[in-house]
Structure 1
Amino acid sequence: MATINQIFLFIGILVSLVLAAHADCGSATCYTLFNPSACYGYDAPTGLIASASPEIWENRAACGKRYRITCTAGTNLGVPEPCSGL
C-alpha cells in the first residue's frame, strides 16, 4: 500500500513540474481604443485586442489563444502596480 501511495505522490509531483514549466514570460499591452489586429484585422471576435512581445507572439502562434496574465513588476512609466490600476 505504501508503494502505491509513493507512486501517486511521484506522479503528482511530476505533473506539477510539467505544468509549472509550461509558463512563458514576456510583455503585453492592452488597447482601450480599437485598432486593427495582426490576427483578425477589424474582425476581432471579442473586440478585445492586446499586443504581445516576440516571446509570446511567435509569428502569429498566439492568435486566438487565451492567456492568464500576472503582473511581475511596474511599468516603464513608473506605475508601481499596473494590474490594480494604482
Structure 2
Amino acid sequence: PGSVSYYSSEEGFVISGDALFQGGIGRTDLVGGSQEVLLQSIHDKLLSLPESTLVLSGHGGETTVLTEQEQNPFIHGFSL
C-alpha cells in the first residue's frame, strides 16, 4: 500500500518502483500486501499504458509493457 509509479508520456517510460519487474511483480507477503490488489493495480495503471512504454523497475532489467503483457507469468495468468 502507498506505492507510486511515475510515467512520462513525452519520454515513453514508466518508473514502476517495486510493483512490476521484468518477468515478475512486487512482494505481497509483507504486512498489508495483497496479490489481488497489486495485480489489479498493475492491470489498471501500468498495463493500460502504450505497449511500447519502457518499464524501469526498482530491481532488475528494463522491459516494455508489451513484453510483460505477453511474457510475465504473474500477469499472463491474471483474470479480472
Query: Do both proteins adopt the same fold according to a TM-score greater than 0.5, normalized to the shorter chain?
Result: no
More strand by share: 2
Higher-Rg structure is: 1
Q: Give me the TM-score of the superposition, normalised by structure 1.
A: 0.22
Greater RCO structure (CA 8 Å; 6+ sep): 2
